[in-house]
Structure 1
């Protein structure tokens, strides 16, 4: 892997909110090639485990967990530097600073999909998907401009699965609260007062009453079914990574409460299957309005047209359409 330029820096160089008095906190700085919008990436609705922290000077940091490490991240557009703060106590050998920094940098690189060539993807979505004779797809042009730099994350498959099971007939703030409850109640403490996402065994041990206390409602049965099938090997989350898209979708749909949309969300946002095209109400409205002259269409029609138009980068097209429709076009259709 060709890696990004990085360096380890002492916590004393960072704002007071980042606990300068704690000598175990250090920082990693990565120079990011290509477009990156950390706000759009973490707040577009693909993930539910990050919290925005705004400092007195107005700079925005995001607090979350990557792997088993609690982090604070900030992206400086002027320098294209991504700063990652972490607690060395989250590592098995806190004294091996170089190895820990390298390991975390690789995880950050992978998680934020910094190897995706967004310029190439944009070029394809603007020109390769055009079928009307126009020079560019005007809808994609608007959506890509609005969300420029948004990247599809590579989330942990188990956490992503539970997140999207919890998303059924739900809103983003409620999903965030459910995931936060599971972390704090069943996870392990890590840096910056955060908690890891618990493994399926922890859900099984917790039982139905504890799961329902998250206020996930009817979804508790689905969550426990997912835990049971993963623990017992009926659903192999590692195997899914190597399956064709249709087979991977069927494997996930063995779990109660996992339909085509939830399966496609997990495949896109955890397994980075960029050919997946999940269709929720926002994408359905956008596809109807922009590509079917406002006529009523089915979810299957929207998915089929999205896959036909956007091919290997359908997932990026979907998320940019979702972000654009929900946040810019809200109320227009």
Structure 2
């Protein structure tokens, strides 16, 4: 296997993009200074050097365009680079976006100096949807564990590599049978087991993965309402799916953390509320859509990362975004 250049270092920040709560299948190897993860039925490695981001393919189930050299290694650089370009939306000029958003908002202008290269992942809708069903009332380490259980029990094996077996995320057909509910409860999924099985059955009834393509073609709010028809999908999870896998980049999932950012820095009349009502949810989303435009969800993801304490001690620069103190 060999490392290949993906992009310049400033165009993609791996830390904020891969561990900011968008996807749950990336892990950082501190000893090797590299990220390992799975998407698109392929296991990957990513690392950064002084100038660029590099990638390597651990193993893949994809057949189209795949080649192997005389050592059995996967070598089709062009094909896999296109997959990564699409996943990280590298065709989008992030410098232009950052410039536009900085001109509209002083807080963003401060935050983006440290949190450069935060990409909105273009994920596969099936994995994205079921991963965020697992995310409900949960923390990241447990969500990651649940997602891996889904892959190990219902996904196709990709390869073994350095004592780790990598699995693809299961196709929706694998999660739809009624017995999946009980099996997932036995694996510790709790009430989410029903949501996963019932939603998978609904998706199959409505056309399978082709149904997601129709959602991409809809207007954002219409696509969101269709998603909410699924068992166990509320407004926040629907917004996550719209934003992260259906190209509705104006979508903005509002959780407690997003509410706190909005209340402390943009909408002071919302401070001190005990919970986020439907009216508040809409007001917060509309405010950022008016401020940042049709990619408001992406812009706010940078503010979200800047506000996470775990990133404030791990980034390379010492400059911190200015935050207002809570009263």
TM-score (ref. length: structure 1): 0.82
Q: Give yes or no for the alignment of 1:288 onto 2:288.
A: no
CA positional deviation for 1:115 = 1.2
Alignment of 1:311-326 (within 5 A): 311-326=293-308
Q: Are 1:204 and 2:179 counterparts?
A: no
In the TM superposition, 1:58-137 aligns within 5 A as 59-76=32-49, 78-87=50-59, 91=63, 94-95=67-68, 100-127=76-103, 129=104, 137=105
Deviations 1:246-278 (A, max 9, x none): 111111111022121111111111123221111
User: Following TM superposition, by how much is the alpha carbon of 1:320 offset from its aligned partner in structure 2, in angstroms?
Assistant: 1.3
Partner of 2:241: 266
2:193 alignment partner, one of 203, 217, 220: 220
The equivalent position to 2:231 in structure 1, one of 256, 276, 279, is: 256
Structure 1: gaps spanning 5 or more residues = 1-10, 12-25, 130-136
Say which of 28, 52, 60 aligns to 1:52.
28
Q: In the alignment, which of 123, 126, 133 is matched to residue 155 of structure 1?
A: 123
Show the counterpart of 1:42.
18
Shift of residue 32 of structure 1?
A: 3.2
Partners of 1:157 and 1:270 within 8 A in 2: yes
1:108: how far off? Answer: 0.8
Structure 1 vs Structure 2 CA RMSD: 2.5
Please identify, of 89-98 and 166-175, the stretch whose mean Cα deviation from structure 2 is larger.
Answer: 89-98
**1:34-66 deviation line (CA, Å, top 9, x unaligned):** 5211111101111111111122xxx52111113
| More deviation, 206-215/157-166 | 206-215
| CA distance in structure 2 between the aligned counterparts of 1:33 and 1:122, rounded to whole angstroms | 16
**Would you say 1:306 and 2:288 are equivalent positions?**
yes
CA distance in structure 1 between the aligned counterparts of 2:294 and 2:14, rounded to whole angstroms: 23
Contact 2:67-2:75 within 8 A present in 1 as well: no
Q: What stretches of structure 2 of length at least 5 have no aligned partner?
A: 274-279, 313-320
C-alpha separation between the residues in 2 aligned to 1:27 and 1:210? 40
Pair 1:282–1:89, CA change in 2 (3 A) = closer
Range with greater deviation from structure 2 (319-328 or 151-160): 319-328
State the alpha-carbon separation in 2 of the partners of residues 171 and 87 from structure 1: 29
Contact kept in structure 1, 2:9 and 2:51, CA below 8 Å: no
The change in CA–CA distance for 1:166 and 1:243 in structure 2 (over 3 A counts) is: same
Q: 1:170 aligns with which of 134, 138, 144?
A: 138
